[in-house]
Structure 1
Amino acid sequence: MSSDEPSNSEAAEQDQHKQPLVAHLIELRDRLLRILLVVLLLFAGLFAFSNDIYEFVSAPLRAALPEGSTMIATNITASFFAPLKLTFAVAIFIAVPYILSQLWGFIAPGLYSRERKMAMPILLSSIVLFYAGVAFAYYVIFPLVWLFFTSTGPLSIQMAPDITSYLEIALKLFFAFGIAFEIPIATMLLIFSGAISPKKLVSKRPYIVVGCFVVAMLLTPPDPISQCLLAVPMWLLFEAGVFFGRWIKKAPVETEAG
């Protein structure tokens, strides 16, 4: 038997889990419906706290506003729909572990047993890193960015941010930092799968640094402060992924030697 062919046990796993295309689509539909149901249930439970949630998320901006300034609603329905949209987004954020578990349950049957063992720590790490990115945006980035913008404008301009505009920027930053913090996972997966080696990734570092700034430019508001505050952590997270990727590649060799 060629070394490239799967073992008997792996071939049996594949045959056991083969399903017709229609069965796969039905399973995917059922999992998507479960995800939607969980998000809607979370949204229903959080609905009564919509205004409190908006107050919490907007606290960094309100703390940076000059004395006497406040946020405004330029649309008559904005004071109702802005907290509502934020609450729905929060419901999705809370449901991220369940969403990822459903996606994992869909793809797991098609993986070999050794791949499933590796995937579970990666799944848990990706959940933790996503929430870490959102927390980093709220507790570190928001105070710096809002303080910069509220303190650099002309003295003759009265700051009165619109609640809908703030919501759009805040959600964009939450999403950008949540995804950016997944870079170590993506880097380690590339190394673990053999798609690229740590040495090649290091050799492409200049291009990756430029790519970080390009992605940050696309994901953040059009200002250099927030772009740099996203691009630099992305680069550092890439370096962390390369570091742990080297360890992952060395671990099997060290085990066999022992």
Structure 2
Amino acid sequence: MGILRDIDETQAPLMEHLVELRTRLLRSVFVLAIAFGVCFYFADQILAFLARPLAEAFPPGQGRLVYTKLYEVFFVEMKVGLFGAFCVSFPYIANQLWAFVAPGLYAKEKKALLPFLIATPIFFIAGASLAYFVVMPTAFRFFLGFQGSAGGLPIEALPSAGEYLSLVMQFILAFGISFLLPVLLLLLERAGLVQRATLAKARAYVVVGVLALAAVATPPDPGSQLILAIPLYLLFEGSLLVMLILQKREKRASGDKTETSEVA
């Protein structure tokens, strides 16, 4: 009977956690659905905002987007609505995830994780902004420079709406996620999975990895790859600097505690 009672007591908290998880997931889906409805209503304005780098890269009066399938623009606006809804509702979804996980953490763990939670959207927005304001205009001007003529026939760029949206989302997500590298490295270092000395010795491999990531995440033009690779490497070096500062601060704090205990 005692064993059965223990099993029932362990199952009860598990069911409570599952019910709470279901509630928070339903809330997140509900907010995402509302955000999708709003973003889908303003899909034309959002698409116009996303198309601005291409419009500015074209010579005046020449830029346009085409579609070759009757349903293409509808699905483009659906994708725009989902993309915008996820960006708008992400803070709420992250808050629900934190509210579910936080009760199981100690106060010290919460204090350690909070800076990373704040830094994540900041770094993602920084990467997405670099892609939108710098990389995409540069890349589009580069690609449009190949317009001309061949054998008396004009060679004209006629990008489709669906392909352009996929390219823009690739740029924004690739740069936004890549800029989370410092957050990932600092988390791994705080968790004890990697050490600063090991990362510092692996600089040559990091350079190769950064160049490979830039080649995969961006279109095949050297300009876009360098614009992603250079900030990524600088972020890596910045992460090492932050690790060094934190290590010195911890050593200083531990030294102060030791002196205090000796005096006592």
Shared fold per TM-score greater than 0.5: yes
What is aligned with 1:46? Answer: 39
Pairwise CA distance, 1:207 = 1.0
> CA distance change for structure 1 residues 21 and 227 in 2, over 3 Å: closer, same or farther?
farther
For residues 9-56 of structure 1, the C-alpha deviation after alignment (integer angstroms, 9 at most, x for no partner) is xxxxxxxx9975444443333322222111111122223211011011
Where does residue 240 of structure 1 map in the other structure? 238
Find out whether 1:134 has 2:108 as its counterpart. Answer: no
Query: Counterpart in 2 of 1:146?
Result: 140
* Kept in 2: contact 1:172–1:220 (CA 8 A): yes
Which residue pairs with 1:35 in the alignment?
Answer: 28
Identity, % of aligned pairs?
A: 36
Structure 2 counterpart of 1:73: 67
Q: Counterpart in 1 of 2:102? A: 108
Alignment equivalent of 1:178, drawn from 166, 176, 179: 176
CA RMSD of aligned residues (A): 2.1
Flag structure 1 segments of 5+ consecutive residues without an equivalent. Answer: 1-16
* Structure 1 residue 212, shift from structure 2 partner: 1.5
Structure 2 stretches of 5 or more lacking a match?
1-9, 257-264
Candidates 68, 85, 89, aligned match of 1:95: 89
Between 1:247-256 and 1:55-64, the stretch displaced more is 247-256
Worse overlay, 211-220 or 85-94:
211-220
Secondary structure of 2:121 counterpart? helix
Q: How much has 1:108 moved relative to structure 2?
A: 2.0
Q: Distance in 2 between matches of 1:114 and 1:60?
A: 45
Structure 1 Cα separation of the partners of residues 169 and 197 of structure 2: 36
Deviates more, 1:50-59 or 1:133-142: 133-142
Q: Does residue 1:157 correspond to 2:151, yes or no?
A: no
Q: Give the AA of the match of 2:127.
A: G
Q: 1:173 to 1:18 in 2, by over 3 A?
A: farther
Q: Which residue of 1 aligns with 2:114?
A: 120
Deviates more, 1:204-213 or 1:162-171: 204-213
Q: Check whether the contact 1:71–1:162 (CA below 8 A) recurs between aligned residues.
A: yes
Structure 1 range deviating more: 25-34 or 96-105 = 25-34
Contact 2:37 2:81 in 1 (8 A): no
Larger Rg: 2
Give the TM-score normalised by structure 1.
Answer: 0.85
Counterpart Cα distance in 2 of 1:228 and 1:152: 20
Structure 2 residue 77 is the aligned partner of structure 1 residue 83 = yes
**Contact persistence 1:78–1:164 (CA under 8 A):** yes
When normalised by structure 2's length, the TM-score is 0.84
For the residues of structure 1 that align with 2:12 and 2:201, how far apart are their CA atoms?
42
* Contact 1:70–1:160 under 8 Å retained in 2: yes
Q: 1:142 to 1:19 in 2, by over 3 A?
A: farther
Alpha carbons of 1:20 and 1:66: their partners in 2 closer, same or farther (altered >3 Å)?
A: same
Q: Where does residue 7 of structure 1 map in the other structure? A: none
1:22/1:202 CA distance change after superposition, 3 Å: same
- From the superposition, tell whether residues 79 and 115 of structure 1 become closer, same or farther in structure 2 (CA, over 3 Å): same
